[in-house]
């Protein structure tokens, strides 16, 4: 299975639309994007409250609260820009079965990066929630803040723990090292280096996977989590020489911020 982007953005869009129609959610849509591969591979359980902004979206993707009522996710996880009440966001609930913690809030509006449909890159979208969850938002990289592109990142999600595996109830986390564009491009000819960032071990073994899409790749900077990437795609999961590919937030954080109002809603 090659990376889904080799299928072209159009075919992914068709698959997303199909599965939404059949299932009423895009959980199945996650599979075509990264291939029928293996939630986080090689991870460990995250503690309740460790990543308060971490969000599970009901279509089968991850996301992160980045403003009072806004969740940042991947464009390939959603359909089009517009009013939409069909998603449920579960926030700050490390184990999805533990309904005594965290919050579950419905969506009101979706904004999908307009650049995604034309390029297949710029894989980001915003989901507006009906009310503000009681968590502090995750800080995203600033436009041009490429200094964050180094070292070790933390990735997380409820996705498959091996290629083709099921989604998990327990939030998994893992650490993955930065991979330079030049090295990553040797694995992914379709890499868009200006807007995508790679992370993983040459030997594989640790990676995000199907169902983790849309979730954040974060870096701890002096005790503060900063979001550097968004889980986007990969060839299988955790395969040697195939790092995970993440949307590179610093390349479009101004565009994200331009869509968020002072009160933390999506600007229509
Ligand atoms: N596209 C996948 C999803 O929809 C995520 C793939 C990430 N793959 C990887 N090898 N890092 O959940």
Domain 54-137+253-266 in CATH 1.20.1260.10? The answer is no
CB of 207 closer than 6 angstroms to any ligand 1 atom: yes
CA dist 267 → 47, 88, 110, 119, 225 (Å): 34, 20, 10, 23, 25
Q: How far, in Å, is the centroid of ligand 1 from the Cα of 237?
A: 7
CB of 154 closer than 6 angstroms to any ligand 1 atom: no
213 is catalytic: yes
pTM for this predicted structure? 0.88
Q: Within the chain, what is the greatest distance between any pair of CA atoms?
A: 46
Question: Is the Cβ–Cβ distance between 70 and 89 less than 8 Å?
Answer: no
Question: Is the Cβ–Cβ distance between 268 and 126 less than 8 Å?
Answer: no
Rounded average pLDDT over 227-244: 98
Query: Which pLDDT score is estimated for 17?
Result: 34
**From 19, 76, 113, 227, active-site residue:** 76
Domains of the chain, by residue range, sit at 54-137+253-266, 140-250
Q: Measure the CA angle with vertex 137, ends 253 and 196; round to 5°.
A: 30
Which of 8-17, 22-31, 36-45 is the most confident on average? Answer: 36-45
Compute how many other C-beta atoms are within 10 angstroms of the C-beta atom of residue 241.
14
pLDDT tens per residue, range 205-233? 999 999 999 999 999 999 999 999 999 99
pLDDT tens per residue, range 52-93? 999 999 999 999 999 999 999 999 999 999 999 999 999 999
Read off the pLDDT band of 39 (50, 70, 90): low
Q: How far, in Å, is the centroid of ligand 1 from the Cα of 262?
A: 32
Read off the pLDDT band of 4 (50, 70, 90): very low
- Residue in 31, 160, 232, 241 to alter for ligand 1 test, most ligand atoms within 8 A of Cβ: 232
Same fold, 54-137+253-266 and 140-250: yes
pLDDT tens per residue, range 144-201? 999 999 999 999 999 999 999 999 999 999 999 999 999 999 999 999 999 999 999 9
CB of 51 closer than 6 angstroms to any ligand 1 atom: no
212 is catalytic: no
CA dist 192 → 28, 165, 245 (Å): 25, 28, 10
- CATH dotted code for 140-250: 2.40.10.10
Does pLDDT of 101 surpass 50? yes
175 is catalytic: no
First-to-last alpha carbon distance for the chain, in angstroms, is 38
Read off the pLDDT band of 117 (50, 70, 90): confident
């Amino acid at each position: 299975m090659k990376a889904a982007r080799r299928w072209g953005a159009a075919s992914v869009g068709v698959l997303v639309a199909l599965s939404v129609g059949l299932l009423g959610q895009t959980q199945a849509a996650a599979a075509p994007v990264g291939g029928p591969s293996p939630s986080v591979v090689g991870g460990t359980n995250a503690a309740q409250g460790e990543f308060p902004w971490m969000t599970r979206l009901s279509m089968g993707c991850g996301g992160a609260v980045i403003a009072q009522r806004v969740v940042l996710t991947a464009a390939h996880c959603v359909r089009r820009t517009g009013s939409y009440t069909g998603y449920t966001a579960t926030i700050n609930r490390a184990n999805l079965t533990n309904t005594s913690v965290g919050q579950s809030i419905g969506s009101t509006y979706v904004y999908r990066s307009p650049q995604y449909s034309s390029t297949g890159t710029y894989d980001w979208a915003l989901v507006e929630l009906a009310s503000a969850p009681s968590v502090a938002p995750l800080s995203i990289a600033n436009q041009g803040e490429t200094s964050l592109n180094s070292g070790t990142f933390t990735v997380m999600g409820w996705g498959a723990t091996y290629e083709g595996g099921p989604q998990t109830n327990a939030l998994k986390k893992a650490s993955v090292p930065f991979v330079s564009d030049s090295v990553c491009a040797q694995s992914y000819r379709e890499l868009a280096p200006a807007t995508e960032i790679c992370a993983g071990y040459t030997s594989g073994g640790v990676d995000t996977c199907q169902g983790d899409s849309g979730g954040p790749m974060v870096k701890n900077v002096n005790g503060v989590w900063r979001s550097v990437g968004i889980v986007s795609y990969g060839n299988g999961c955790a395969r040697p020489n195939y790092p995970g590919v993440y949307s590179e937030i610093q390349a479009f954080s101004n565009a994200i911020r331009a869509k968020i109002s002072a009160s933390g809603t999506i600007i229509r």
